[in-house]
Chain A
Amino acid sequence: MATTYDIAMKQTEAQQEGRAAVIVVENLRKTFGIHKVLDGINLSVDRGETLAVLGRSGTGKSVLLRLIIGLETPDSGSICIRGQNIAGLALDRMGEIRKKMGFLFQHAALYDSLTVAGNVAFPLEHHRKDMSTSERGDLIRQLLVEVGMGGSMEKMPSDISGGMQKRVGLARALALEPEILLLDEPTAGLDPISSGEIDDLILKLQHERQMASIVVTHDLHSAKTIANRLALLDKGNVVIEGTFEDLQESDIEFVREFLKQS
C-alpha cells in the first residue's frame, strides 16, 4: 500500500513537471470472492487530460471507476483525488469529494420517476440551495441545450432513446461543475452516428471545461478520438499505457491481438 509520503512525492513530481495530477491511483487491488479483478493498478490523470481505459469484458474497467467514485472499497492501494486518499473514507466525507466528480453510468441510470429536467435538477436541488429557482431553471436549460436535449426537458426517461438518455446523464454529471468526469461506456449500445455525436460532445466539453476524465470503453475508435492517453487492462493489470501510436507500435502479443480484433 502506498504511504502518504509516496503520494506526496508523486504529487510533487507532477507539480515539478508542470502537471497537476488530479487523480492518482496506486497499487490498487480489488477481489470479489475468489475472483481477483484488479491486481495492483497504477494510473494518474492530469487536469484537462482524458485517459481511456480499454480491455476485454470482465477485466475490471467499470470496477476501477466505481472504486474511484467510492461506490466500492478497495482491498488495498490508494486513490488520491487532489492529494487526498479516498480509500475507505466515511460516507459523509466522501460526499464532499463526490461533489467534484461527475459520473456517467453505462445505462445512464436516470431516475425514472423524474423528468429529463428533474434528473438534471436533482443534484442542484441538494447541493446548490443558494441558487434561486429561476437561476436553477436557467442552468438546467443551459446544460440540456449544451448536450443537445433542450427540446426534451419535460419528457420522461422512458420516452427517450438510449443515446438521448446518455446525453441527459452527461448533463446531470456536469450539473455541479465537476473537476473530474468519469464515463462508463459512453458509446456502448449506440449506433455509429450517435456514438460519433457523443464523442464530439465529450471532446467539446473537455475543451471548454478542462476536466480530468477517465473513459472506460470497448470502442477503440471512440477512445482514439476522445482520449489523450490509453491504458489497456488485462488480468487486473495495466498491460500498456500511452498514446494510440504507442499501442500501435507495441510488440506485446496481447496489445497486437486487441488492436487487430477491435
Chain B
Amino acid sequence: MSDHGVIAVEGINPSIPKRRAEAMPSAANSGVKLMNRFFEWFGSLGIFCWKVLRAAVTPPYEWRELIRQLDEVGSKSFPLIALAGAAIGVVISMEARYSLTRFGAKSMFPATLVYSVIQVMGPIMTGLIVSGRVGAGMGAELASMKVSEQIDAIEASAINPYRLLAATRILACILMLPLLTLAADATGLLTGWFAQTLVEPLSFHQFVENGFHGATFSAFLPQTFKTAVYGLIIGTIACFQGMRTRGGAEGVGRAATNSVVIASLFVILADVVLVKFILVVFP
C-alpha cells in the first residue's frame, strides 16, 4: 500500500517508486543542511567567543556595567536559589532518613545530607535554575536590543558591544554562580537539619560536627567552584543567542527559549565531564 492508500503494483504504477526515489535525495539534502547548520552554529559561537575574549582583556573596562550585572545575576537570583536550596534540603533529609533507617545507618544522616547537598544537588540545581532565570532574561534582553537596532546604535557610538554587553554579563555569571551555590548549600543544610530535628532532635553543633567530620576542603571546594564553568556556559550561550537574533518578536522568543534549552543541556553535559575531572584531579 502506498502512502496515499493506493495499492502499488510493480510496473503498473511506476510513479510511486519514482516519487520515493525523488524523496531520498531530499532527505539527504535536509540531513546535509542540518549538519551545515550544526557546524555553522559552533563556528559562529567560536568567533563570538574570540571577539568577547579580545574585548574583555583590552581596556577600557566596563566596571559600572559589570556591577549592574553582578546585581542582576547575583542579588536578584538569590531569593529563588535560597528557596530552591531549602526545598532540596528538606527532600534529601526525608529521603535519606528513610533509606538510612532501613539499612541501619541512621548515624550517617548528617554526612549523607552534607555530601548530597554540597557535592551533588547544590551545584547542579543552582546551574539549572540560573540557566532558566538568567539565561532567559539575558537572551531576551539582548535579542530585543538586537532587533530594535540598539546594539547597532551602541556600535555606531564607537562602543564595543562585545565588551559592554557580553563580557560583563559572562563575567558576572562566572563570579556569581559559586556564591549562589554556597547560598543554596547553606539553606539546603539548614532546612535539612531542621526537618530532621522535627522528627528526631539533633543539635546543630552535633549535626555540623558529624556532617563535616573528616571532610577536607578539596572534597567541597572543587564541587562549588566548578559552577564558575556553568556560569561561563550560561552567560556565553545567552549572550550569543541574544546577539545573533534576527526577526521581530518571534526571534526574541526563540532566542530566550534557545538560551535556556542549550545552556541547561550544556550545564548537564559539563557536570558529567567536571565530576570525572574532579575525581581524577582531587581523588
Interface bin, chain B: 10 to 19
**Distance in Å: Cβ of A62 to nearest Cβ of chain B:** 11
Q: Within the complex, which residue of B60, B159, B160 is in contact with A123, where a contact is CB–CB below 8 Å?
A: B159
Q: Which residues of B contact A96 (CB under 8 A)?
A: 158
Contact yes or no, A105 B152, CB < 8 A: yes
- The answer to whether B155 has its CB under 8 Å from any CB of chain A is yes
Interface string of B120-151 (1 = CB under 8 A from A): 00000000000000000000000000001110
A86 in contact (CB, < 8 A): no
B157 at the interface (CB under 8 A from A): yes
Instruction: Provide the bound-state CA to CA distance between A261 and B149, in Å.
Output: 30
Closest B residue to A94 using CB positions? B158
* Residues on B with beta carbons closer than 8 Å to the beta carbon of A71: 152, 155-156
Q: Establish whether residues A109 and B149, one from each chain, have CB atoms under 8 Å apart when the complex forms.
A: yes
CA–CA, A101 and B156, complex, Å: 8
Q: Determine the chain B residues whose CB is within 8 A of the CB of A95 once the complex forms.
A: 158-160
* C-alpha gap A29/B182 in the complex (Å): 56
Q: Which residues from chain A contact B58 at a C-beta distance below 8 Å?
A: 92
Interface 1/0 per residue, B44-61 and A, CB below 8 Å: 000000010000001010
For A105, the chain B residues whose CB sits under 8 A away are: 149, 152-153, 156
A126 in the interface, Cβ–Cβ < 8 Å? yes
Closest chain A CB from B72 CB (angstroms): 11
In A120-152, the 8 Å CB interface with B consists of 122-123, 126-127
CB-CB nearest in chain B for A114 = B150
Task: Judge if A99 is at the interface, Cβ distance under 8 Å.
Answer: yes
> How many Å from the CB of A202 to the closest CB on chain B?
18
Docked Cα-Cα span, A123 to B156, in Å, equals 10
Contact pattern, B 152-172, Cβ under 8 Å of A = 1, otherwise 0: 110111111000000000000
What is the minimal beta-carbon distance from A69 to any residue of chain B, in angstroms? 5
Query: Is the beta-carbon distance between B153 and A103 smaller than 8 angstroms?
Result: yes
CB-CB < 8 A to B156: which residues of A? Answer: 69, 71, 98, 101, 103, 105
What would be 7 A-B contacts, judged by CB atoms less than 8 Å apart? A95-B159, A98-B155, A106-B149, A107-B149, A110-B153, A123-B158, A126-B158
With A69-B156, A110-B150, A127-B157 known, 14 other A-B pairs at CB within 8 A are: A71-B156, A91-B51, A92-B58, A92-B160, A95-B160, A101-B156, A107-B149, A112-B148, A123-B158, A123-B159, A126-B159, A127-B158, A172-B153, A176-B157
